[in-house]
């Protein structure tokens, strides 16, 4: 399934369709409800197979070149760090390509959302760990920062 990540154009079109469909199910998609208990394993299996999803509950794949930032050993949401090796691999796990190098390369093949890679993302909200990002996105929970957090400024290139 990981080969799909090499075809981010297809994935971003699929995401665009999902974004249009999600509002139709909003009345059933409620955080903490029965539907979420069913959606969580579905999301875990499908996104796990394609993106090695870590179930952060706040999905930003379309803004990160369809590359899950939670696979970065430092969990950077606005990478890369300064430690990328000359061969494009991670300084923490030398055998692993840098998540953010991959994000950059894949975003170049994404005409619809690729530019969002330049947006500054807020820190991940750890209280959403293990919840369903699909439901959090449809209800707006995933976009809302906890009380006391300052919204990140929108920066785009
Ligand atoms: S950003 Fe979060 S929800 Fe999206 S694939 Fe990565 S861990 Fe999963």
pLDDT in tens, the chain (157 residues): 677 888 899 999 999 998 888 888 777 887 888 889 999 999 999 999 999 999 999 999 999 999 999 999 999 999 899 999 999 999 999 999 999 999 999 999 999 999 999 999 988 999 999 999 989 988 888 877 777 776 655 555 5
Would residue 65 count as lying in a domain? yes
Domain contains 88? yes
Q: Per the domain annotation, does 154 fall within a domain?
A: no
Pocket test for ligand 1, best of 15, 52, 55 (most atoms within 8 A of CB): 55
Question: Would residue 55 count as lying in a domain?
Answer: yes
Number of Cβ atoms within 10 Å of the Cβ of 69: 23
pLDDT at position 141, please?
83
* Binding-site residues, ligand 1, Cβ < 6 A: 47, 51, 53-56, 58-61, 68-70, 133
What does the pLDDT read at residue 102?
A: 97
Q: Ligand 1: which atom is nearest the Cα of residue 68? A: 6
**Residue 152 is assigned to a structural domain of this protein:** no
Instruction: Give the residue numbers spanning the domain of 8.
Output: 2-143
Is residue 39, in this structure, part of any structural domain at all? yes
Ligand 1 atom nearest residue 47's Cα? 5
**Would you state the pLDDT for residue 21?**
87
Q: What is the CA angle 125-94-54, rounded to 5? A: 25
State pTM to two decimals.
Answer: 0.88
In a domain, 79, yes or no: yes
In a domain, 100, yes or no: yes
Predicted pLDDT of residue 119: 94
Domain total of the chain: 1
């Amino acid at each position: 399934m990981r080969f799909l990540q090499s075809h981010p154009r297809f994935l971003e079109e699929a995401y665009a369709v999902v974004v249009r469909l999600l509002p139709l199910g909003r009345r059933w998609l409620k955080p903490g409800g029965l539907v979420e208990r069913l959606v969580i394993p579905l999301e875990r299996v499908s996104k796990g197979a394609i993106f090695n999803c870590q179930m952060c509950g706040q999905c930003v794949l379309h803004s990160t070149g369809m590359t899950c930032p939670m696979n970065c050993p430092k969990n950077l949401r606005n990478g890369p760090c300064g430690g990328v090796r000359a061969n494009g691999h991670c300084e923490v796990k030398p055998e692993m390509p840098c998540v953010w190098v991959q994000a950059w390369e894949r975003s170049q093949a994404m005409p619809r959302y690729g530019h969002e890679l330049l947006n500054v993302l807020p820190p991940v909200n750890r209280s959403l760990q293990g919840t369903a990002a699909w439901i959090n996105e449809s209800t707006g929970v995933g976009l809302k920062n906890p009380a006391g957090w300052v919204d990140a400024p929108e920066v785009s290139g």
